[in-house]
């Protein structure tokens, strides 16, 4: 006799939960293989950062002041005129500049 | 112990039978629940992944960058300033960096032109970021024509493309030689965009930064840690916005669960009445309803989290791409590296499962204490 016969509701519930848990564990177990693969890919990026002396990610290149967020002038977003509305979606999501020490 | 287990299995049997009887309604609830967990988990996994990626990539960034400020704005730095910085104790090496922006009207994007520290391309040649090369349809040997500061066209031969696995830092990058850079932007010899410093002892980075500021007060010093913190802050902020919206959804879902549990249908009330008349006590009814909540929320959490994991790490988070992309034309292809963080999983499980169980608890207790006689007469 099966431990959790599917014709019983509890059996069905156990199978459903075990199946979902197995799916989750399977993808989590794949994480280390995937992380190793991505680390190899990242090594190329790190080598370029070291070779060129890069300081920022090339994610937001729509405006000069969002391309190098860590290097941007603190008033860059308002350079056109004081109180200018932010033009770019990236600027509105990038958060206010923090004063440097 | 066996009796207890058998009793609980009996309760679960009844719960599942009840759930199956109202299949459409419970399936709808489960789907909404899975979607909620999926969205919340996707935001958390994506934000964590981006922060981790930025920190790891920028580990190789310059330890300190010194910018010259003139009237509060960034200005070019003379070579003499580099010598004055190099004299400071604790500074291992100083290099003048040359980089600038160029608006490329052909693709409507800002390019970053930079002179690499080492292995710079030969005169008249450039190395291109893979994203830019893809967008302009360029391959090694092709010619990239850009207008310089005087409006004159400059033709560069594409010597090589930067590795496409580095797109996250090189999407819009054009690497060129120093002489080409100076001629293109009209920057005289002896002037640099800023300075990159290496310090002898990384623990003294802050002290060195203070020394630079003391010697050259008209400068701004940015440490590597600040660069990395900038991206922590950016992705915290980005993660916070959708989470704020989703927290409203979570509250709405808890309200829905409360409503569902408290608005017992006449059929459900009769059912409870009959069960109690058959000898079930309030504890049994309460346990049955708790099992219902636990089964639904656990199943929804497991499915939602698995889907979120697949979405972020296997599919490349297509749902978030438009948000990050903004108006940028040169959007890099990149994949995030997963990391299993048990505390994150547990906190997310508590965040999604607890509101549901809590919202159903009180109405369920009220249902469990119904008087069978009164209910059956209704």
pLDDT digits (tens, 9 = 90+) for B265-275: 677 777 778 88
Task: Output DSSP code: residue B127.
Answer: E
Mutate to test the interface with A, among B16, B230, B243 (most CBs of A within 10 A): B230
Residue among B129, B163, B314, B225 nearest A46 (CA) = B163
The mean per-residue pLDDT over the stretch B223-229 comes to 90
In angstroms, the separation between the Cα of residue A98 and the nearest Cα of chain B is 9
Of B167, B192, B224, which marks where a domain is finished? B224
Confidence at B223, pLDDT banded by 50, 70, 90: very high
Of B195, B224, B253, which marks where a domain is finished? B224
- Per the structure, the complete domain to which residue B265 belongs is given by 2-58+230-377
Whether residues B91 and B160 fall in one domain: yes
Give, for B77, the enclosing helix (H) or strand (E): strand B77-78
Query: For the domain that residue B208 is a member of, what is the CATH number?
Result: 2.40.40.20
Question: For residues A74 and B51, which has the higher predicted lDDT (pLDDT)?
Answer: B51
In angstroms, the separation between the Cα of residue B110 and the nearest Cα of chain A is 6
Taking only the tens place, the pLDDT of each residue in B68-94 is 999 878 899 999 999 999 999 999 999
Task: Output DSSP code: residue B329.
Answer: S
Taking only the tens place, the pLDDT of each residue in B198-218 is 999 999 999 999 999 999 999
Q: A96 Cβ partners below 8 Å, 6+ apart?
A: none
Report how far apart, in Å, the C-alpha atoms of B43 and of each of B26, B159, B243, B290 are. 26, 40, 7, 29
Q: Quick one: pLDDT at residue A36? A: 92
Residue among B220, B185, B175 nearest B77 (CA) = B220
The C-alpha atoms of residue A77 and residue A67 are separated, in whole angstroms, by 12
| Residue A50 is assigned to a structural domain of this protein | no
Whether residues B326 and B347 fall in one domain: yes
Whether residues B78 and B209 fall in one domain: yes
| Residue A72 is assigned to a structural domain of this protein | yes
Q: Report ipTM (2 d.p.).
A: 0.81
Chain B contacts in chain A segment 49-78 (CB below 8 A) = 49-64, 67-71, 73, 75
Whether residues B348 and B305 fall in one domain: yes
Contact B222 A55 (CB under 8 A): yes
Whether residues B240 and B202 fall in one domain: no
Comparing CB atoms, the residue among B299, B306, B326 nearest residue A60 is: B326
Comparing CB atoms, the residue among B233, B298, B338 nearest residue A17 is: B298
- Per the structure, the complete domain to which residue A72 belongs is given by 55-95
Q: Is B112 on the interface with A (CB under 8 A)?
A: yes
The mean per-residue pLDDT over the stretch B47-63 comes to 92
Whether residues B160 and B269 fall in one domain: no
* B151 Rama sector, left if φ>0, alpha if ψ -120 to 50, beta otherwise: left
Residue among A77, A64, A84, A70 nearest B328 (CA) = A64
DSSP per-residue string spanning B158-209: EEEEPPGGGHHHHTTEEEE-HHHHHHHHTPPTTEESEEEEEESSGGGHHHHH
Whether residues B54 and B70 fall in one domain: no
Whether residues B14 and B84 fall in one domain: no
Burial-class residue B256 by CB neighbours within 10 Å (0-12, 13-18, 19+).
middle
Taking only the tens place, the pLDDT of each residue in A24-81 is 999 999 999 999 999 999 999 999 999 999 999 998 887 777 788 888 765 555 555 5
In angstroms, the separation between the Cα of residue B38 and the nearest Cα of chain A is 13
Nearest residue in chain B measured CA to CA from A54:
B61
Question: For residues B169 and A6, which has the higher predicted lDDT (pLDDT)?
Answer: B169
The C-alpha atoms of residue B181 and residue B102 are separated, in whole angstroms, by 11
Chain B residues closer than 8 Å to A34 by CB: 313, 337-338
Burial-class residue B194 by CB neighbours within 10 Å (0-12, 13-18, 19+).
buried
How many independent structural domains does chain A possess? Answer: 1
Confidence at B110, pLDDT banded by 50, 70, 90: confident
Chain B contacts in chain A segment 14-43 (CB below 8 A) = 16-17, 20-21, 23-24, 27-28, 31, 34-35, 38-39, 41-42
Residue B221 has phi, psi (to 5 degrees) of -110, 130
Confidence at A1, pLDDT banded by 50, 70, 90: very low
Of B189, B224, B259, which marks where a domain is finished? B224
The C-alpha atoms of residue B268 and residue B257 are separated, in whole angstroms, by 16
The C-alpha atoms of residue B378 and residue B364 are separated, in whole angstroms, by 19
Whether residues B72 and B215 fall in one domain: yes
Q: How many pairs of residues across A and B have Cβ atoms under 8 Å apart?
A: 212
Q: Is B299 on the interface with A (CB under 8 A)?
A: yes
| Residue A61 is assigned to a structural domain of this protein | yes
Comparing CB atoms, the residue among B57, B111, B222 nearest residue A46 is: B57
Q: Are strands B219-223 and B173-176 parallel, antiparallel or unpaired?
A: unpaired
* Reduced 3-state DSSP string for B91-102: EEEEEEECEEEE
Q: Quick one: pLDDT at residue B159? A: 95
| Residue A64 is assigned to a structural domain of this protein | yes
Whether residues B236 and B301 fall in one domain: yes
Whether residues B44 and B175 fall in one domain: no
Q: Quick one: pLDDT at residue B8? A: 85
Residues forming beta bridges with residue B158, ordered by sequence position: B126
Nearest residue in chain B measured CA to CA from A25:
B306
- The mean of the pLDDT values for chain B is 88
């Amino acid at each position: 006799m099966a431990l959790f016969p599917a014709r019983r509701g509890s059996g069905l519930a156990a199978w459903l939960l075990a199946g979902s848990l197995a799916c989750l564990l399977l993808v989590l177990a794949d994480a280390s293989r995937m992380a190793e693969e991505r680390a190899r890919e990242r090594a190329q990026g790190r080598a370029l950062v070291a070779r060129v002396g890069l300081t920022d990610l090339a994610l937001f290149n729509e405006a000069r002041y969002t391309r190098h967020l860590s290097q941007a002038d603190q008033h860059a977003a308002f350079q056109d005129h004081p109180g200018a509305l932010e033009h770019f979606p990236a600027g509105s999501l990038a958060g206010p500049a923090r004063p440097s020490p | 112990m066996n009796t207890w287990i058998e009793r609980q299995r009996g309760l679960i049997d009844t719960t599942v039978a009840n759930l199956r009887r109202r299949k459409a309604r419970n399936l709808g609830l489960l789907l909404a629940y899975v979607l909620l967990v999926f969205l919340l988990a996707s935001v958390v996994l994506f934000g964590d992944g981006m922060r981790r990626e930025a920190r790891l990539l920028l580990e190789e960034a310059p330890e300190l960058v010194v910018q010259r400020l003139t009237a509060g704005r960034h200005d070019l730095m003379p070579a003499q300033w580099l010598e004055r910085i190099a004299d400071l104790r604790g500074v291992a090496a100083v290099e003048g960096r040359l980089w600038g922006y160029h608006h490329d009207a052909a693709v409507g994007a800002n390019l970053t032109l930079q002179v690499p520290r080492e292995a710079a391309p030969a005169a008249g040649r450039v190395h291109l970021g893979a994203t830019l090369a893809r967008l302009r349809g360029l391959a090694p040997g092709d010619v990239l024509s850009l207008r310089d500061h005087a409006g004159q066209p400059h033709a560069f031969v594409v010597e090589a493309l930067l590795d496409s696995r580095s797109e996250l830092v090189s999407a819009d990058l054009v690497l060129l030689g120093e002489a080409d850079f100076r001629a293109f932007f009209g920057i005289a010899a002896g002037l640099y965009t800023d300075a990159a410093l290496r310090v002898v002892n990384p623990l003294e980075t802050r002290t060195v930064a203070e020394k630079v500021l003391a010697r050259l007060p008209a400068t701004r010093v940015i440490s590597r840690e600040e660069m990395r913190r900038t991206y922590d802050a950016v992705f915290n902020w980005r993660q916070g916005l959708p989470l704020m919206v989703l927290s409203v959804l979570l509250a709405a879902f808890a309200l829905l669960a409360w409503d569902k549990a408290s608005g017992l249908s006449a059929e459900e009330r009769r059912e409870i009445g009959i069960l109690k008349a058959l000898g079930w006590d309030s504890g049994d009814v309460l346990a049955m309803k708790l099992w219902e909540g636990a089964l639904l929320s656990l199943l929804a959490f497991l499915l939602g989290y698995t889907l979120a994991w697949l979405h972020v790490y296997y599919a490349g988070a297509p749902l978030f791409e438009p948000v990050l992309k903004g108006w940028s034309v040169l959007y890099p292809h990149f994949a995030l590296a997963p990391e299993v963080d048990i505390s994150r999983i547990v906190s997310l499980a508590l965040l999604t499962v607890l509101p549901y169980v809590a919202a159903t608890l009180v109405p369920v207790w009220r249902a469990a204490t119904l008087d069978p006689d009164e209910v059956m007469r209704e």
